[in-house]
Structures are given as structure tokens and as C-alpha cells.
């Protein structure tokens, strides 16, 4: 496994493969790249709230989610929502998103981050262009 000082990739990337480890689904703190799927966006006036979830299925077949909210500028929020709605025929939910941020646990099963850099939010993925 790649080591970054004392950290490993597992310490930074959070997705369906390691969500159950150490009950990360209950929330995390600190620098992480969260990889999940969109489910909602909210125009807050001066900014946008992009909601997505990191999900996995337990051994017993139960779906577990960590809900994430990333706050982006008005301009970036419009760009993200427009791209997804145009590309995927007016359906915002269910599309891949990755956000690198300094996450804060707001309550069990929920984290938030205010994007400091435009490049911290990735929502265009080549393989999704072929989805219907």
C-alpha cells in the first residue's frame, strides 16, 4: 500500500470499499477524498449545497450511508447542477462525485465541507458519459 508519511491511501480515500472500517459511516474528521453519488443540490442564494452519499452494503445486505454536504460558490454550483442535469436528462441523483476536503462531522452519519478550491470537487467522469 502507498504510504504518505505515516498515512496510507486508506487513511485519505473514503468510498464504498472502506466505509465500514472503524465505523467511518458514522462520520469522519479531517482531510479525506470522499467518493460517492449525488442525491440533491440546494441553491442557497450566495452558494450551493451539493449533497451526496458514500454507500456500501453490509454482509447482511443492509445499505449503510455517510451523507456528505459540500458547499460551493454560486458559480460552481450552477456549473455542477447544469452539467449533471443536461448530461443525464434532468436527473441529478445517482451520479459519481469526488470531493477532497477537510471534513467536519456535524452529527452521526453526516459530514460537511466548504470547498476552498474549485478543483476539490470532481463531477465529470469519462465512464458516465455512456450512462442512460
Is 111 a domain residue?
yes
Note whether residue 132 is domain-resident: no
Domain assignment present for residue 94? The answer is yes
| pTM of the shown model | 0.89
Cell numbers at 67, concatenated: 451523507
Q: Is 80 inside any structural domain?
A: yes
| Residue 72 grid coordinates | 460551493
> Residue 125: phi, psi to the nearest 5?
-130, 130
Burial of 100 (0-12, 13-18, 19+ CB in 10 A): buried
Each residue's pLDDT tens digit, 64-81: 999 999 999 999 999 999
Tell me how crowded residue 1 is: count the other CB atoms within 10 A of its CB.
6
Q: What is the average per-residue pLDDT within 83-90?
A: 92
User: Percentages helix, strand, coil for the chain, rounded to the nearest 5?
Assistant: 25, 45, 30
Give the confidence band of 132 by pLDDT, cuts at 50, 70, 90.
very low
Q: Give the residue numbers spanning the domain of 98.
A: 3-127
Find all residues with CB under 8 Å of 77, minimum gap 6, and list them.
41, 43, 47, 48, 49, 50
The percent of residues in the chain predicted with pLDDT above 70, rounded, is: 92
CATH number for the domain harbouring residue 28: 2.40.50.140
pLDDT 10s digits, 3-47: 457 778 888 999 999 999 999 999 999 999 999 999 999 999 999
Number of domains making up the chain? 1
Assigned domain for 91 exists? yes
Per-residue DSSP letter, 20: S
102, 30 in Cβ contact below 8 A? yes
Amino acid at each position: 500500500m502507498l504510504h504518505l508519511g505515516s498515512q496510507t491511501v486508506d487513511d485519505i480515500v473514503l468510498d464504498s470499499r472502506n466505509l465500514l472500517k472503524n465505523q467511518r459511516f458514522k462520520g469522519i474528521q479531517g482531510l479525506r477524498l470522499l467518493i460517492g453519488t449525488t442525491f440533491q443540490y440546494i441553491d442557497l442564494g450566495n452558494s450551493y449545497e451539493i449533497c451526496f452519499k458514500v454507500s456500501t452494503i453490509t454482509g447482511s445486505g443492509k445499505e449503510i450511508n455517510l451523507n456528505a454536504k459540500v458547499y460551493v460558490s454560486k458559480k460552481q454550483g450552477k456549473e455542477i447542477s447544469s452539467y449533471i442535469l443536461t448530461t443525464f436528462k434532468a436527473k441529478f441523483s445517482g451520479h459519481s462525485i469526488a470531493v477532497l476536503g477537510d471534513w467536519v462531522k456535524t452529527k452521526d452519519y453526516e459530514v460537511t465541507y466548504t470547498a476552498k478550491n474549485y478543483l476539490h470537487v470532481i463531477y465529470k467522469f469519462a465512464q458516465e458519459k455512456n450512462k442512460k
